[in-house]
Structure 1
Amino acid sequence: MAQESDTHHPKDAQEEFVESIEEHTEQPGHPERHDVTQPTQVKAQDKALELIEGLGHSTILTPENNKHVLRQIDLRLLPILLAIYFLQQLDKSTLSYASVFGLVETTHLHGHQYSWLGAVVYVAQLVFQPLVSYLLVKVPIGKFLAVSVLLWGITLACMTAASSFATLMVCRLFLGIFEAGLAPAFIAVTQMWYRRREQPIRLGSWYAMNGVVNMFGSLITYGLGHISSSVFEPYQIIFLFFGLITVVFSAAVFVFMPDSPVKSKFLSEEDKLVAIERIRMNQQGIESHEWKWDHVKEACLDLKSWFWFALMLTISIPSGGITTFGPLIIASFGFNDLNTILLNVPFGAVQLIATMGGAWLATVWKKKGPVLALLCLPPIAGCVMLLKIPHDDAHKGPLLVGYYIISVYPGITPLIYSWSAANTAGETKKKVTTGILVVGQCVGNIIGPNLYTTEEAPLYRRGLLSNLALFCVLWLLIVLNMAYISVLNKKHEKKRVALGKDAKVVDHSMFAVGSVPTDKEGEPIQQMVHDNAFKDLTDGQNEDFVYVY
């Protein structure tokens, strides 16, 4: 994280905010001030205000205390989030790994049955998404994650005993139910703890576990596949091993995962205030356990929500197909079982580079739309290669290159999550909007595997053609969404002018703490902080909210 020097600059906006609170304390009836310590408003506002009221003061955010607290947050949260997501993706990938080690033959799967084993997880997640959105508002997020990890680990271990399509379907269904809240919870954690400038890297880091899983998961599975047992089939060993690891790790999540900055035990009281001030500029709030139906209505009527849905649906269809059929696609090039698993390792490395590289570029550019449009191009090229290059021994190398180029696509999903997370405010609206995204992801992952069938091997032409078309559609949707966000920013400018405020608002959440934004002539721009950050307002209600391209 880049830190600015301590050069002198005009009074910090946070200091002005604190002074405005003190002035209002002397003038309680002032119509243009918003007293953050007024008890009658606490219930409808954010839990951060309760802490500020209880301690009797706020704090000033500086580059030094920001760096100190951010480091503490990263050291506590990121290992837990990365491990959970690694295990979740590992658990999801066990189906494709198991397919290489005899699952299809031993359980007598045929037709679309294997495809439905991949899709049913997302059917369950889709159905349970409304309940997940409600629980994430009402239930402490740390406890929610711990229980989810425990239940899905138990379910995966139980898959060891599944010996038919019906029993496998039941296990996969419950796996989907218990994993339904993980991605929404991760996004909520990112919004709760990190400035908008910091969110792409953090979201990208846990989503990059997809690539790590494809590397190390493949290697672990390669080792497990060599175990000779008279009791268990190789694929059963895979289910049991990963399931038991997940169950054990759930205890660590319960003990160490904090529920919020306000309730965290690893931060001192002063550091909690710094954590709150870090998030103030996001204009998104931190935590409120009040479910607000007007937020639900706005989320459902907001065209932006359906752009996120369309983007996530469009990327998840090819993602679902390639995730489920990836090892089988490699096998179709003429490689044996163990080599197929090993050749999936570079696929994961490309995923990791694309995900973190895209997040880094979005942070540098302070824009996500252009980066997303750029990431669409390699998968388009990869699909064309797999469709045009002959599938024979002489072309194994080029076919693998085409497959690896397609694997840039996982970098797209976390940036869509990050784009949505940065552009949504209001506790209930944030959860509902994330739910809409996850529904789009689930629908896409249900459709995706069913565009491929085992009977289409080795060409899988229908699946690859549909993926090619969808990557092109995705590029167009990204451009349209950028145009709509521009319209929303102009709308907020007009609202600010009508209220007597400056038309242009400096989005401090996209700058390093302590930096001074400048105008075209290089002159410092100072912007008064309007006290809307912790009122639990939606982005549509808060005229000070600045949308990110």
Structure 2
Amino acid sequence: MSHETEAAQTKRQQEEFVESIEADTAQQLPRTHHEEPREDKALQLIEDAGHSTILTPENNARVLRKIDLRLLPILLGIYFLQQLDKSTLSYASVFGIIEKAHLHGQQYSWLGSVVYVAQLVAQPLVAYILVKMPLGKFLAVSTLLWGITLSCMTAANSFAGLMVCRLLLGAFEAGVAPAFIAVTQMWYRRREQPVRLGSWYAMNGVVNMFGSLITYGLGHIKSSVFAPYQIIFLFFGLLTVGFSTVVLVFMPDSPVRAKFLHEDDKLVAIERFLTQLVLGIESHQWKWEHVKEACLDFKSWLWFALMFSISIPSGGITTFGPLIVKAFGFDEFNTILLNIPFGAVQLVATMGGAWLATALKMKGPVLVLLCLPPIAGCVMLLRIAHDAAHKAPLLVGYYIISVYPGITPLIYSWSAGNTAGETKKKVTTGILIVGQCVGNIIGPNLYTTAEAPLYRRGLLSNLAMFCALVFLSLLNMGYLFFLNKQHEKQRVTLGKNAKVVDHSMHAIGATVADKEDMPVPRMAEDNAFRDLTDWKNEDFVYVY
């Protein structure tokens, strides 16, 4: 078949598809005389344009490049500042905030945990707001408010004052990770999600590298007005406030509303999602049946358990990491500098894990692999004597623990790629973030300054959680396999092919032979704009 003939046939099929979607949707969503807008904004755009488009490797690459160049700098900037702002407490601990604010007992631990208490309480409201409010505006407002809060921490010089500021900081940051997951689901195909989620989460490593360098410089500033840790709070707070303006001006709300995309590019952005059996692009209807399904879905609670298990060590090490290094026998400035390799390992592990998950088209096995170095690192810190003669192996153990940040974005993308339905996606993400918050609340409280330098209870609990992650990952893979088998049976009952090609896990431009081996059922396309959940869409393919 010639290229021209194939292209003409593809165009004709897509025109027929748009006509069928319009007819089917018209039946399902009857209109009044005053014509109410479509449930999904993407379908509305196709109807307004009067045609769809043909997706090719060339126009897909061009539009994806535009999306990356606009979204990624903003997302990376927001997450860099969020992690930097949360890390200021651990930097401040090295520069004397514990002594200056007269913190004792578990007070410093609670300053680390209270951020996640606020995020935990805020999650139901965040899930609702993310369905109803444009994502770009939401992120701009959140960034502004937490920047102002961090700046105000400069004036806090007691446990009560610091506690209030950290509580507000957590509340205003509560929607960042859920919004980022929603942005990734809205703009990127499932094949593309691990690297994009990994890229912004890799800012943890960048923060530990460049944040440590910046803090090292700020710590040398001599001031008769501000203590070094107050300068750290003020500098990073004002930087965040300034960046919120950039977010407001340049962050788009959705592909349909993106001003940086021409109309044809928007149609390409929509067409990218018709290949992956997922549901819709933008809908602002809150559906209680989706909420019920998310709560009854066993995998929602597996995501919760996975995120809870990784967040316990994450919360503890984030808060106490510099103190652990300082306990090896280093002064405050060397402690800050020695945190840079920790960040470098984080960066490599996060991006390496995302790349491997994309190459294998599987996340579960990669997640298990990433658990092994932290298990070894915990054992090293528990077994090696904490004295001057063993500084080097202790640092090695600490550094290989830092592979753990590569796990969290894989859980994010694993959940995002296996959930459909606009409201269900937001609620499932909320459940996942609740697990993250609970783990981060518990994590710092398993460490205490009184246990320095061994921090045995904290390290033992971290070791147990990394082992639990291995088990939970294997369990989740088995459950997803079971769900795929259930959908195959449903397709056969409806007279469809049992097997469906999940094009979302393959590059655009698969060979004609590949497509002919197992064509995408027409109903898979019909379901694309109906905002069905993954349970209700029998053509949905779960990814391991």
Fold shared per TM-score above 0.5? yes
Residue correspondence of structure 1 range 461-480 to structure 2 within 5 A = 461-480=456-475
Alignment deviations for residues 221-273 of structure 1 (CA, whole Å, 9 cap, x no partner): 00000000000000000000000000001001000000000011000011000
Distance 1:480 1:8, change over 3 A: farther
SS at match of 1:149: helix
Tell me if the contact between 1:16 and 1:528 (Cα under 8 Å) persists in the aligned partners.
no
Tell me if the contact between 1:45 and 1:288 (Cα under 8 Å) persists in the aligned partners.
yes
Number of the residue aligned with 1:61: 55
How many angstroms apart in 2 are the aligned matches of 1:352 and 1:7? 43
Number of the residue aligned with 1:152: 146
Number of the residue aligned with 1:451: 446
**What is the one-letter code of the residue matched to 1:186?**
F
SS at match of 2:224: coil
User: Among residues 81, 91, 96, which one is paired with 2:85 in the alignment?
Assistant: 91
Distance 1:408 1:236, change over 3 A: same
How many angstroms apart in 2 are the aligned matches of 1:548 and 1:512? 16
Distance 1:8 1:468, change over 3 A: farther
Cα shift at 1:211: 0.1
Structure 2 unaligned segments of length 5 or more: list them: none
User: Among residues 15, 18, 23, which one is paired with 2:14 in the alignment?
Assistant: 18
1:127 and 2:132 aligned: no
Tell me if the contact between 2:500 and 2:518 (Cα under 8 Å) persists in the aligned partners.
no
**What is the one-letter code of the residue matched to 2:489?**
K
SS at match of 1:533: helix
How many angstroms apart in 2 are the aligned matches of 1:537 and 1:525? 23
Distance 1:220 1:501, change over 3 A: same
How many angstroms apart in 2 are the aligned matches of 1:43 and 1:486? 38
Number of the residue aligned with 2:393: 398
Cα shift at 1:430: 0.5
Number of the residue aligned with 1:500: 495
Number of the residue aligned with 2:286: 291
SS at match of 2:528: coil
**What is the one-letter code of the residue matched to 1:248?**
G
Cα shift at 1:77: 0.2
Cα shift at 1:61: 0.7
Alignment deviations for residues 38-62 of structure 1 (CA, whole Å, 9 cap, x no partner): 7749756311011111111111111
Tell me if the contact between 1:196 and 1:422 (Cα under 8 Å) persists in the aligned partners.
yes
**What is the one-letter code of the residue matched to 1:189?**
V
Number of aligned residue pairs: give it: 537
SS at match of 2:280: coil
Tell me if the contact between 1:37 and 1:52 (Cα under 8 Å) persists in the aligned partners.
no
Number of the residue aligned with 1:337: 332
Tell me if the contact between 2:123 and 2:433 (Cα under 8 Å) persists in the aligned partners.
yes
Tell me if the contact between 1:506 and 1:517 (Cα under 8 Å) persists in the aligned partners.
no
Residue correspondence of structure 1 range 231-310 to structure 2 within 5 A = 231-282=225-276, 283-310=278-305
Number of the residue aligned with 1:3: none
1:528 and 2:528 aligned: no
Distance 1:170 1:455, change over 3 A: same
Alignment deviations for residues 135-189 of structure 1 (CA, whole Å, 9 cap, x no partner): 0000000000000000000000000000100000000000000000000000000
SS at match of 2:221: coil
Distance 1:309 1:25, change over 3 A: closer
Distance 1:446 1:328, change over 3 A: same
Distance 1:117 1:79, change over 3 A: same
Distance 1:280 1:22, change over 3 A: closer
Number of the residue aligned with 1:206: 200
Distance 1:312 1:295, change over 3 A: same
1:350 and 2:338 aligned: no
SS at match of 2:527: coil
Distance 1:22 1:226, change over 3 A: closer
Cα shift at 1:390: 0.3
Number of the residue aligned with 2:185: 191
How many angstroms apart in 2 are the aligned matches of 1:148 and 1:25? 37
Higher helix fraction: Structure 1 or Structure 2?
2
How many angstroms apart in 2 are the aligned matches of 1:324 and 1:463? 12
More moved, 229-238 vs 495-504? 495-504
Distance 1:322 1:39, change over 3 A: same
**What is the one-letter code of the residue matched to 2:325?**
I
Number of the residue aligned with 1:381: 376
How many angstroms apart in 1 are the aligned matches of 2:163 and 2:424? 33
Alignment deviations for residues 182-235 of structure 1 (CA, whole Å, 9 cap, x no partner): 000000000000000000000000000000000000000000000000000000
User: Among residues 94, 101, 106, which one is paired with 2:100 in the alignment?
Assistant: 106
Please give the TM-score of this superposition, normalised by the length of structure 2. 0.95
Number of the residue aligned with 1:490: 485
Tell me if the contact between 2:499 and 2:518 (Cα under 8 Å) persists in the aligned partners.
no
**What is the one-letter code of the residue matched to 1:387?**
L
Please give the TM-score of this superposition, normalised by the length of structure 1. 0.94
Number of the residue aligned with 2:538: 543
SS at match of 2:70: helix
Number of the residue aligned with 2:64: 70
SS at match of 1:370: helix
Alignment deviations for residues 486-521 of structure 1 (CA, whole Å, 9 cap, x no partner): 0000001111111111110000111111113867xx
Residue correspondence of structure 1 range 157-172 to structure 2 within 5 A = 157-172=151-166
Structure 1 unaligned segments of length 5 or more: list them: 1-5
Tell me if the contact between 2:386 and 2:394 (Cα under 8 Å) persists in the aligned partners.
yes
Tell me if the contact between 2:18 and 2:51 (Cα under 8 Å) persists in the aligned partners.
no
More moved, 536-545 vs 525-534? 525-534
How many angstroms apart in 1 are the aligned matches of 2:366 and 2:290? 30
Alignment deviations for residues 114-140 of structure 1 (CA, whole Å, 9 cap, x no partner): 000000000000000000000000000
Distance 1:356 1:24, change over 3 A: closer
How many angstroms apart in 1 are the aligned matches of 2:415 and 2:375? 24
Tell me if the contact between 2:201 and 2:409 (Cα under 8 Å) persists in the aligned partners.
yes
**What is the one-letter code of the residue matched to 1:441?**
Q
Tell me if the contact between 1:346 and 1:404 (Cα under 8 Å) persists in the aligned partners.
yes
Distance 1:50 1:115, change over 3 A: same
SS at match of 1:318: helix
Tell me if the contact between 1:21 and 1:35 (Cα under 8 Å) persists in the aligned partners.
no
1:509 and 2:504 aligned: yes
Distance 1:7 1:308, change over 3 A: farther
Distance 1:137 1:399, change over 3 A: same
Tell me if the contact between 1:299 and 1:433 (Cα under 8 Å) persists in the aligned partners.
yes
Tell me if the contact between 1:24 and 1:35 (Cα under 8 Å) persists in the aligned partners.
no
CA RMSD of aligned residues (A): 2.1
More moved, 276-285 vs 191-200? 276-285
Distance 1:219 1:235, change over 3 A: same
Cα shift at 1:36: 9.8
Tell me if the contact between 1:13 and 1:527 (Cα under 8 Å) persists in the aligned partners.
no
Identity among equivalent positions (%) equals 76
User: Among residues 320, 333, 356, which one is paired with 1:361 in the alignment?
Assistant: 356
Cα shift at 1:321: 0.2
1:218 and 2:212 aligned: yes
